[in-house]
Amino acid sequence: MIEHDFILHQLSEYSDQHNDWPLAEWRLALEDINESPGQHHWLCADPVYIHPDRSEALLLAHEELEITHEEAEQLANLINQHYKDEPWELHVGSTHRWYIKSLQDYELQTRTINSVKGKNIFDYLPSGNDARYWQQCMNELQMLLHTSDINQQREEKGLLQINSLWLWGYGKRASEAGLNWDKIYSDDAVLNGLGIISGCDVARLTDELEDIEDTKGNILVYIQRLEEASQQQDIFTWLEELQYLEKYWFEPLLKKMEELPELLVTLLIDNNMAFQVSRKHMKRWWRSKNRNKLY
């Protein structure tokens, strides 16, 4: 399953592109970067810790890294100075979300950072006609970051080094993209950015359904509680999280349908399970869900 596949299948314009979705441009909508995405080409370049393990290199940490804003800016300046003659530069959107802004277009297919976590990066490196250049940059960046004063200080403090950047999200420039939901509850940066571009009301995901304000219309709730346990193949934690969802999301959702008859909820769980729930659907639970075209 390609990450964000469900969301992107709602956009007919991008439904057949798969490797060319402009995820970096969409995520950029969240950032306080004074740039117009359509004027340049964008690539996510997120700081990560990669652990060498015999013949493998495992991507073990991204948002788990305790990065300060000062560290992010100093490392970005170091990288930009090193690559000052190249047709691109690095921008810091947040401590964990960095971007490459390029004047040049590339033929490049990439894999999302979440799809690589805990895995051997050699199986997920960028591909395409221009991949060799970016793979070389990734190798150079590892050496540059390893010798930086920032990482020496982090090592002295017992913190993981920021020893690489993971490049992903490069795609064709987005024209108008539209999602049909009135409101989106999600912690996924790409989805939230696309929601903003589409004119949706976007909010961070709450811990439980009862914390969501009463609303009418068509809303999307994207829950990723099962994802980490699934990636680690931890069946016991997965079952505990499933019980949590049953208690704090599924059961309250059935009650809320009775209170708010005009509410239509699309519940997306870890991007591979999608359910559409409304008061009308509850009365026709025995019918096929194919007509909803959720997936």
- Candidates 76, 75, 167, 79; CA nearest to 121 is 167
Task: Provide the token pair at 272.
Answer: 């591979």
What pLDDT, on the 0 to 100 scale, is given for residue 204? Answer: 86
pLDDT in tens, 56-95: 999 999 999 999 999 999 999 999 999 999 999 999 999 9
pLDDT in tens, 173-218: 655 567 888 889 888 999 999 899 888 899 888 877 776 666 668 8
Rg (CA), the chain: 21
Listed in sequence order, the residues at least 6 apart from 263 whose beta carbon sits closer than 8 Å to its beta carbon are 215, 216, 217, 219, 256, 257, 278, 279
What's the rounded mean pLDDT across residues 129-134?
96
**pLDDT higher at 172 or 138:** 138
Share of the chain above pLDDT 90, in %: 44
| 265, 253 contact by CB (below 8 A) | yes
69-82 vs 131-146: helix crossing angle, rounded to 10: 120
Strands (E), 16-97: 41-53, 56-61, 88-92
Question: Model-level pTM?
Answer: 0.84
| 196, 202 contact by CB (below 8 A) | yes
- Candidates 106, 117, 100, 99; CA nearest to 48 is 117
